[in-house]
């Protein structure tokens, strides 16, 4: 009896192994991404610092200024900001119909208090 040489390699077992490995990688990645794998976090003796909140300043169509949803004038805004950390980010939400000067006054008030993280909220045009 003569032995025949292999003229081809059977790829089916190789493909089966690769598919099983692919399923394992995908399942592990899903567990890590969604947090299904239970992890017991280490304990710290110190409490964590509070999450920094963003200060919100709003200016309505009439030019009325609101700080944290409370109506204030520029002097009241300055007084309200006096006890706030200078690293606090501020978001200014101004109506598009207000006078530019009113917006500049509010911005200058915030900047003069030493706050540097100030941004203006806008909407994306569609």
Q: What is the pLDDT along the chain (126 residues), one digit of tens a residue?
A: 677 777 778 888 889 999 999 998 888 776 655 555 555 555 666 655 555 578 888 988 888 899 888 889 989 989 988 888 888 898 888 888 888 899 899 999 999 988 888 888 887 766
Instruction: Say whether 61 sits in a helix, a strand or coil.
Output: coil
- For residues 110 and 76, the answer to whether their CB atoms sit within 8 Å is no
Cβ atoms < 10 Å from Cβ of 94 = 21
Q: What is the CATH number of domain 55-120?
A: 3.30.420.270
Query: Which residue, chain included where needed, has tokens 């530019």?
Result: 100
């Amino acid at each position: 009896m003569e032995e025949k040489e292999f003229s081809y390699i059977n790829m089916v077992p190789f493909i089966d192994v690769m598919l099983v490995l692919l399923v394992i990688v995908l399942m592990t990645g899903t567990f890590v991404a969604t947090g299904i794998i239970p992890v017991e976090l280490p304990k710290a003796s110190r409490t964590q610092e509070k999450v920094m909140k963003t200060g919100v300043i709003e200016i309505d169509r009439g030019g009325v200024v609101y700080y944290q949803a409370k109506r204030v004038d520029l002097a009241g805004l300055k007084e309200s900001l006096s006890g706030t950390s200078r690293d606090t980010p501020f978001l200014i939400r101004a109506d598009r119909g207000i006078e530019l000067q009113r917006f500049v006054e509010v911005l200058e008030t915030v900047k003069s208090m030493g706050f540097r993280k100030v941004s203006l909220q806008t909407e994306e045009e569609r």
